[in-house]
Chains A and B, each alone.
Chain A
Amino acid sequence: MLMATEPQKELPRPAAPLLAVPKPVPSQTRAAQAPGTVPSALTVRDLSVFFGDNQVLKRVSLDVPARAVTAIIGPSGCGKSTFLRALNRLHELVPTARMEGEILLFGQDIYGRAVEPVVVRRRVGMVFQKSNPFPTMSIADNVTVGLRLNGVRNRQVLAQRMEQSLNMAALWDEVKDRLGAPAISLSGGQQQRLCIARALAVQPEVLLMDEPASALDPLATGKIEDLILELKKDYTIVIVTHNMQQAARISDFTAFLYLGELVEYGTTSKIFTSPSKKRTEDYVTGRFG
């Protein structure tokens, strides 16, 4: 309903592989789903993360299903963001960070000895709480930066991928006439969608979102949520949110983290209507947190 003002074009499918673009998606990603089963995009086993002596995550295990939205909820400081950042190894930017356990991305250990964090991050994209388009670049350059700085030079490919990504982020119609304008001339909501387009342009397999709408007004939030529902047709999305209604609206699965531990994980309808743990119930009904 929020899209009423802006007729939703049919969303293009993510690219058929284009010439000279690094192959974005390994074959198993979009493998035909066996009926009745949801293949896991990410398999997290006994994940513990430490910053110095402080243990932020305690043996968290869960499976993130492919092409679905998984919401991570929990009170501030429960380790939601750390969990998300462990999924693309971004938590390693903190020099004292250390992890134990195992995270598999479509069966591959992303912490394997030979695995470069750069490669993991190509496959697991991220959108941040605060929109952060690069201020020195135009709208167009922001979208293609991930490709350009990874060696893609073909202009046709870049232009194609830019339009496609902006379309997927439901931003193309708003910016197509001013692609050369500075990215920071956009509104807050547009900037966040630009960041989503930028993340999509490198064709990740999984998209991590760290409270992507928490700094936006309700209208812009609605657009982001509609967008997430569209994107899950092709992408695996893991979203951290403070907003329980948001989690209920857009996610298929919900994990409740508390004090670094996974309290409960299940389908969103179960977590919100008949949680099996008392603490989950207290949290989702707003009795604490």
Chain B
Amino acid sequence: MHRWRKFKNGLMQVVTCACALLVITPLALLFYHLLKSGLGSINWAFFTQLPKPVGEAGGGMANAIVGTFELVGLAALLGVPVGVLGGIFLSEYGSVRLNFWIRLGADVLNGVPSIIWGMVVYALVVVPMKGFSALAGGIVLGMIMVPLIMRTTEEVLALVPNGYREAALALGIAKWRAIVQIVVRTALKGIITGILLAGARVAGETAPLLFTAFGNRFWNHHLTDPIAALPLQIFNYAISPYEDWHRQAWAGALVLLLFVALVNVSVRVLTRDRFSHR
């Protein structure tokens, strides 16, 4: 009897542990494969040169790397203020009923497939402007960021104890000032974390960019021109028939993954002391 119970407990432990390990297996495989196929093509030229025409060896993805940062920056210009202020509204001002609908809307938007975002911005921005553009790419990524940042902002603000709000108001500090200088400041680390994770998430979006940023084999000099982006370049190179381009696509994928991993790791380091005050 006793032994049977011990066996069941052991079995449970093994099964749950196996499933937990299963979660990180794809990541390990992904890293292994990307390192094997991509590392060889990563060199100085990859980060500094433009793509070479078909048949010519060498070249790099400098324009796509810069383009990705540019697009994420543009997206942040839209996503950070709207998302953070929206989150502040939900946490500090909104009424129960209104919040219910806004939260529901944000959660539904978080689940909208990104290709649909691309179509929406294609219709709203690309068609009226008569052309693909960096601006349209930034807008679509920004729109994807808004609900993500809004929800994380709301959640970290909700963790700020009410005592701080009451203490601030009891000092005769105006509500908006108390929110900006005390509540938001207390939760700032969490808000920044949410922004960084949202940035890392949209940096890897490909589908919405197909309809908006479009990609570019050269440097982008104007917000109204198409712009290159790493995921787009990877996509275009991967579906091409050329061996050389395939290798470059692997390298691009490796760089993108490392970038996303880097953001995640730095967020972990940044927030490690969240509960030890300062």
Q: Which residues of A contact B (CB under 8 A)?
A: 88, 90, 93, 95, 117-123, 125-126, 128, 130, 132, 134-136, 145-146, 149-150, 182, 184, 195, 198-199, 202
Contacts and interface: CB of A to CB of B under 8 A. Distances in A.
Contact of B181 (A123, A125, A149, A184): A149
B166 interface: yes
A55 to B, nearest CB: 22
Contact of A90 (B164, B169, B173, B186): B169
Given A90-B169, A93-B166, A93-B169, A135 B186 contact: yes
Contacts of A135: 164, 186, 277-278
Given A126-B167, A132-B163, A149-B168, 9 more contacts: A118-B169, A123-B172, A126-B166, A128-B170, A132-B166, A135-B164, A146-B171, A146-B173, A182-B277
Q: Is the interface of B mostly helix, strand, loop or mixed?
A: helix
The 4 closest A-B pairs by CB, nearest first: A122-B172, A146-B171, A132-B163, A126-B170
Contacts of A120: 172
A121 B163 contact: no
Interface of B: 95, 161, 163-175, 177-178, 181-182, 185-186, 188, 277-278
A117 B178 CA distance: 14
Contacts, number: 81
A289 B8 CA distance: 52
Nearest to B95: A95
A125 B170 contact: yes
Contact of A134 (B95, B170, B175, B182): B182
Given A135-B277, A149-B178, A149-B181, A128 B166 contact: yes
B185 A121 contact: no
Given A93-B166, A134-B167, A135-B278, A121 B172 contact: yes
B178 A132 contact: no
Nearest to B161: A132
B171 A125 contact: yes
Contacts of B181: 145, 149
Candidate in A90, A117, A118, A198 with the most chain B CB atoms within 10 angstroms: A118
A166 B92 CA distance: 31
Nearest to B167: A132
Contact of B170 (A150, A182, A199): A199
Contact of B166 (A90, A136, A198): A90
B173 A134 contact: no
B186 A121 contact: no
